[in-house]
Amino acid sequence: MNTVNSVASVYSPPFRIVAKYFIAAIVSFVVLNLMLTLSYKDISGHHFQPKILSITHIATLGFITMIIFGAMFQLVPVVLEVKLFSTVLAEIQFWIFSAGVILLVYKFWNFGSELSFTLPAILLNAAMLIFSINIIASMIKVKKWNLTGTYLASSIFWMLTTAVAGLLLSINLDTPFIKISHLQYLKLHAITAFVGWVAMVVMGVSYKLIPMFTLSHDYKLNLAKWAVILINIGLLGVNWIMHYPDTKFYNTLFGSLIFIGMLLYLIQIYIIFNKRIRKKLDIGLKFTAVALIILTITALLNFSFLFFNYENVINLTLVYGILFLIGFASMLIVGQMYKIVPFLVWYHKYSSKVGIEKVPMLKDMFNETFAEYQFYLMISGLIISIIALSFQMQILLLIGFSILFISSIIFSLNMMKIFRS
Amino acid sequence: MTTTITKERITDILRTVIDPEIGINIVDLGLVYEINISDNLIDITMTLTTPGCPMHGSITDWVKRIIEMTIPNVGVNVNLVWEPKWTPDKMSDEAKLQLGM
């Protein structure tokens, strides 16, 4: 038997750092759903509209990226068995990033205001650069590299690419200079953000977390290895050819590589789920399973964009955006937060009390019935919103978004309960 | 009066260490591989269900603390190992039933 000597070298960052990112993300999630409800009349037609861009950025930056930052500060040291390079940088980054998100979301919401786009974009780029330095400086010290590390390192590269593209787009909105179409560049920014950053992090982390939560055993990760290669090649290709005219063939080729990579990931996760020992899915895993089904739908939809021209199908990009941001990303994050947040709080408050006094189980730290209500409300809100968007039914859209908003309130109350327990 | 330290007694004490995520104690989960007692030193060899588990550092601390609190004047050494790898077969029938296997 080989004794594991690395226990003492595994360090988690201080609880307050991760908690700060998580709380900011929960607030953003409620604000995001409120903004959707308030602007139901504006959510129609083309996606390049101030209100829609404002909502997209509170979702991608305020909620999704904020959570990813907090989770990565916690997970990178644990998964890669290395100490976080600097907690001070993580703290500084939080304030710069939060300021950037607030200003950018405000500027899109109040498009006519005098604030420039460039200032928030610079703040966001600075925060993301600090994050990258912190994580890469931690990763350099890793002794045993693993597949999740490859996914996370790739995701950081794509996050920076997204941020730089965002900065160029912001400068272009203040003073036009981009030679290719602004919308074409926006597409690049969105694809890189959705696939390279959000999906890549989710994939890398899920290979670790899902087997841990489901107690899955006896499977190989071969498909996961191919998935990261194909997606990275596909994204590099898409980023490269976007700068040239008449690239239909290459666009289809690289787009297909990304699609095949996503498909391999989904099959890999299906295998892991199938090999699970804990047969009954708890609420966190129910959210996760539904999110992954929706990811399959969005991947298929994305793939079909390569071959069919849907320009006449009204609101299709909006349906796609809602499916990806609310159906996949938010649903998955909410589910994983029902697993991770109780653990973090429990670890912080009760770990030292084990054996001395009675400590709660993780599932006792939140109201499971409320979480179930939230689950069904979120699914029904999503379905109603998509039907309403597809058939341009404004009142139904208000109902759908309101249900999503109520579900986000229940979620935040449940999270508050965990933090206070 | 002193009570003899036996493997059975240590096993019973370890049954009070419950994985907060799964809700099953570490003995029934099959995480405890070996208990060696020599004089006043207790050597425990154990594993976790997954390498990279965030409970990593803490479970070994709990095991040490609980034994030292229950049996005064003993030394406890916990070795965390990944070989042999934990498999579901190592769980007790009761634990398997609880997980719906």
Looking at residues A253-259, what average pLDDT do you find?
A: 95
Q: Please check whether residue B44 lies inside any domain of the structure.
A: yes
Query: What distance in Å separates the CA atoms of residue A156 and residue A153, rounded to the nearest whole number?
Result: 5
pLDDT of residue B59: 82
Dihedral pair phi/psi, residue B42, rounded to 5°: -110, 125
Mean pLDDT of chain A: 91
Closest-CA distance of chain A to residue B62, Å: 6
The model's pLDDT over B39-53, given as tens digits with 9 standing for 90+, comes to 889 999 999 888 767
pLDDT of residue A144: 82
Query: What distance in Å separates the CA atoms of residue A261 and residue A256, rounded to the nearest whole number?
Result: 8
For an interface test with B, give the residue of A212, A285, A338, A344 to mutate (most B CBs within 10 A): A212
pLDDT of residue B29: 94
pLDDT of residue A347: 86
Task: Using alpha carbons, select from A188, A201, A210 the residue that is nearest to residue A228.
Answer: A201
Query: What distance in Å separates the CA atoms of residue A159 and residue A194, rounded to the nearest whole number?
Result: 10
pLDDT of residue A12: 74
- Could you tell me the two tokens for B49? 């269900």
Residue of B nearest to A341 (CA): B21
Q: Which of A2, A217, A350 sits opposite B87 (nearest CB)?
A: A217
Q: Please check whether residue B30 lies inside any domain of the structure.
A: yes
Instruction: Determine which of A4-18, A135-149, B60-74 has the lowest per-residue pLDDT on average.
Output: A4-18
Looking at residues A332-355, what average pLDDT do you find?
A: 90
Query: What distance in Å separates the CA atoms of residue B96 and residue A26, rounded to the nearest whole number?
Result: 36
Q: Does the pLDDT at position A216 exceed 60?
A: yes
Please spell the DSSP secondary structure of A198-261, one letter per residue. Answer: IIHHHHHHHHHHHHHHHT--S---HHHHHHHHHHHHHHHHHHHHTTSSS-HHHHHHHHHHHHHH
Mean pLDDT of chain B: 87
Confidence band, pLDDT 50/70/90 cuts, at residue A6: very low
Whole-prediction pTM: 0.90
Residue of B nearest to A1 (CA): B83
Looking at residues A285-311, what average pLDDT do you find?
A: 91
The model's pLDDT over A57-75, given as tens digits with 9 standing for 90+, comes to 999 999 999 999 999 998 8
Q: What b/e string do you get for A146-179 counting C-beta neighbours within 10 Å, with b at 16 or more?
A: bbbbbbbbbbbbbbbbbbbbbbbbbbbbeeeeee
Closest-CA distance of chain B to residue A78, Å: 6
Give long-range contacts, CB 8 A cutoff, 24+ apart: A50-54: A50/A108, A50/A109, A50/A111, A51/A108, A51/A109, A52/A318, A52/A321, A53/A108, A54/A105, A54/A106, A54/A108, A54/A109
For residue B13, the domain's CATH number is 3.30.300.130
The model's pLDDT over A104-127, given as tens digits with 9 standing for 90+, comes to 999 999 988 889 999 999 999 999
The answer to whether the beta carbons of residues A401 and A381 sit under 8 Å apart is yes
**CA atoms within 13 Å, Cβ hemisphere of A41:** 1
DSSP state of A391: T
**CA atoms within 13 Å, Cβ hemisphere of A256:** 7
pLDDT of residue A60: 97
Q: What percent of chain A has pLDDT over 70?
A: 97
Task: Using alpha carbons, select from B23, B19, B21 the residue that is nearest to residue A342.
Answer: B21
Looking at residues A137-151, what average pLDDT do you find?
A: 90
End-to-end Cα distance, chain B: 44
Q: Does the pLDDT at position A386 exceed 90?
A: yes
Q: Which of A2, A8, A362 sits opposite B21 (nearest CB)?
A: A362
Q: Please check whether residue B75 lies inside any domain of the structure.
A: yes
Query: Which of the two residues, B54 and A318, has the higher pLDDT score?
Result: A318
The CA radius of gyration of chain A, in Å to the nearest whole number, is 21
Dihedral pair phi/psi, residue B80, rounded to 5°: -95, 125
pLDDT of residue A182: 81
Q: Please check whether residue B2 lies inside any domain of the structure.
A: no
Confidence band, pLDDT 50/70/90 cuts, at residue B3: low
- Residue B101: its chain A contacts at CB < 8 A? 277, 279
Residue of B nearest to A345 (CA): B20
Q: Does the pLDDT at position A270 exceed 90?
A: yes
Please spell the DSSP secondary structure of A54-67, one letter per residue. Answer: HHHHIIIIIIIIHH
Looking at residues A289-299, what average pLDDT do you find?
A: 96
* Residue B87 lies in domain: 7-98
How many distinct structural domains can be found in chain B?
1
Give long-range contacts, CB 8 A cutoff, 24+ apart: A346-351: A346/B20, A347/A12, A347/A15, A347/B54, A347/B58, A348/A15, A349/A421, A350/B20, A351/B58, A351/B61, A351/B62
Q: Please check whether residue B1 lies inside any domain of the structure.
A: no
